[in-house]
Structures are given as C-alpha cells and as structure tokens.
Amino acid sequence: MKIKINGVNEALKFSRIADRFDEDIDVTDGHFIVDGKSHVGLLMICTKPNLEAKIITDDMGKWAAFRNAIEEFLYVDE
C-alpha cells in the first residue's frame, strides 16, 4: 500500500498503529526497508516520497484491518 507520512508526529502515530498488530509490518522507500513499528526507522525515511507499507500475513482479515487502521496515511493519486 502506498502511504505518505508527513513529519515526526505522523511517523509516531503510524508506528503506534502498527504496534497494535502482532504481524511484521515493513515500510520501504524503494531502497531501505524499516520496521513499521520502529519510531527511529520511520523517522529515517518518513519524508521521502513513494513510501510503501506491507503487513506480512496471508490472513486477508488482518490485511483489511491494517489497511483500515492506516487509512489516513494511504496515498491517493489525484
């Protein structure tokens, strides 16, 4: 899922949401992959364009729950 994180407060909010899930959550900028639950990791890449978040699960229910939880961060092309 393409996401956009604007600054420190949003990075901290995203990581708190990710922390509610038992599954691994990866966030990548195309070059680096960081743990979506890591405040420091997200702060390293949060201002870069083209971020993508991925929850590591085959359970579509958990995937949908994660997508709904991070809806405010989803990047929508206009």
- For the stretch 4-53, pLDDT in tens is 999 999 999 999 999 999 999 999 999 999 999 999 999 999 888 889 99
Between CA 66 and CA 5 the distance in angstroms is: 16
Burial class (CB in 10 A: 0-12, 13-18, 19+), 25: buried
Residue 78 in this model has a pLDDT that exceeds 60: no
Predicted local confidence at residue 61, as pLDDT:
97
Burial class (CB in 10 A: 0-12, 13-18, 19+), 68: exposed
Cβ atoms of 22 and 29 within 8 Å: the answer is no
Task: Give the chain's domains with CATH numbers.
Answer: 2-73 (3.30.1340.10)
Predicted local confidence at residue 13, as pLDDT:
97
- Whether this prediction's pTM lies above 0.75 is answered by yes
